[in-house]
Homo-oligomer: A and B are copies of this chain.
Amino acid sequence: MARRSYKQACSLARALDAVGDRWTLLIIRDLLLGPRRYGELQTCLPGIGTNLLADRLKSMEKIGLVRRLPVDAGHRWELTETGLGLQPALMEMIRWAMTTRLPAHGDETSRPEWDFVAMKALFDPQRYTGARGRFRLVLNGLPAVLEVVGEALELRQEDGGTAAATIEMDATTGWQLATGKVGFQDALADGRLKISGDKDAARQLLAAFTLGG
């Protein structure tokens, strides 16, 4: 159990007392896409010790950031409202990292889930002028369901259900669209972006993904 505190009467210090320990924010990142089993978290967090993951989940549960969700043969870990409240801070941190040239560490492991989180961070609800709707996003071949709900974009890793449109691309294309390095029509033309269903609604949605402008 991590028990080291800054002991400062400052909101940031108190926040870091709660979530500043190693791995904690990455656990929350992975839970942003939906409830996860212990084992799923382990494979999404290569390098974490099994004791650390258990410790972190326990203290996060005590603080009220996550809760256990009973399921057949065990349970899933899911974010509480409080834990979900960290999403804006995480999104801002991701946007900062995406616009900043940070030193790269040679042998990075890669996971498709992280691209979904990056897409969430690129979405700016202020720019979305379309109607409320469900979309299907196939990123690097993996499907997810997008839904614009009030101030944020909900993105769950699952498939099925009805959707106004299906958007298919890879993460690089998504990033290039957001930064304006490639246009909507161009990406469509050279096949890196595929849309089925309501093409106008998809265009409106993609227009809300922006970075650095």
Contacts of A95 in B (CB 8 A): 11, 88-89
Q: Are A108 and B7 in contact (CB under 8 A)?
A: yes
Cross-chain contact of A90 among B12, B18, B20, B109 (Cβ < 8 A) = B12
| A170 → B minimal CB distance (Å) | 14
Minimum C-beta distance from A151 to chain B (A): 12
Task: Please encode chain A, from 1 to 39, with 1 for each CB lying within 8 Å of some chain B CB and 0 for all others.
Answer: 000011111111111111010100110010000000000
Q: In whole angstroms, what is the CA distance A111 to B92 when docked? A: 26
Query: Chain B residues with Cβ under 8 A from A17's Cβ?
Result: 102-103, 105
**A107 and chain B: residue at smallest CB distance:** B7
Q: Taking the complex as formed, is A187 at the interface, i.e. its CB lies under 8 A from any CB of chain B?
A: no
Q: How far is the CB of A213 from chain B (nearest CB, A)?
A: 13
Could you list which residues of chain A lie within 8 angstroms of chain B, going by C-beta atoms? 5-18, 20, 22, 25-26, 29, 46-47, 63, 82, 85-86, 88-100, 102-111, 114, 117-118, 121
What would 16 more interface pairs be, CB under 8 Å, given A7-B109, A8-B111, A17-B105? Answer: A8-B109, A9-B108, A11-B93, A11-B98, A12-B29, A12-B117, A13-B26, A15-B96, A15-B102, A17-B102, A18-B97, A20-B25, A63-B103, A85-B96, A88-B92, A89-B89
Q: List 20 A-B contacts (CB under 8 A).
A: A7-B47, A7-B105, A7-B106, A7-B108, A8-B46, A8-B114, A9-B110, A10-B114, A10-B117, A12-B26, A12-B29, A12-B90, A13-B26, A14-B97, A15-B96, A20-B25, A85-B99, A86-B93, A88-B96, A89-B89
